[in-house]
Amino acid sequence: MENLKKAVAELNKPIMVDGEEFDRGFNFVIREDYEREGDLVVFDANENYNYDYNDNNYWLMVEAAEEFGLEKPTKYPEDTIHEKLEEAVKKDFGKSAYLEWYDSVVMMVAR
């Protein structure tokens, strides 16, 4: 589970922009599922990252474009967070492992 722990630590770290540190607002947690012994779940305890993350970001970009007279986005932003977590899951548990949304906030490691 080493790669998944590293990915979570990286996502939880603040980001640097022009020498200034900004909190990403995430608090990703890995834990054993209480209902299914041996299964792992990953989730953002702050609930900022969820199933609707990309949809929410897209509509925020549309609203900002409308407010500031900018061109509206034509496609959804890429979900690099899910990709990064799933890549770590595959490295730790094999190529057939993946992350599956358990509900709107929690992702389950499917092995």
CATH of the domain at 11: 3.30.200
Sorted by sequence, the CB contacts under 8 Å of residue 22 that are 6+ apart come out as 14, 15, 16
Cα angle 47-78-15, degrees, rounded to a multiple of 5: 60
CA angle, residues 95, 2, 53, in degrees to nearest 5: 70
| pLDDT tier, 44 (very low <50, low <70, confident <90, very high otherwise) | very high
CA–CA separation, 93 vs 111, rounded Å? Answer: 7
Question: Which structural domain range is residue 31 located in?
Answer: 2-50+80-110
61 belongs to a structural domain: no
Q: Is residue 60 part of a domain?
A: no
pLDDT digits (tens, 9 = 90+) for 74-109: 888 888 999 999 999 999 999 999 999 999 999 999
Amino acid 79: pLDDT: 86
Among 37, 49, 40, 38, smallest CA distance to 84 is for: 49
Higher pLDDT, 34 or 66: 66
| Whether the Cβ atoms of residue 41 and residue 106 lie closer than 8 Å to each other | yes
Looking at the domain assignment, is residue 67 inside a domain?
A: no
pLDDT score, position 28: 97
Is 58 part of any domain? no
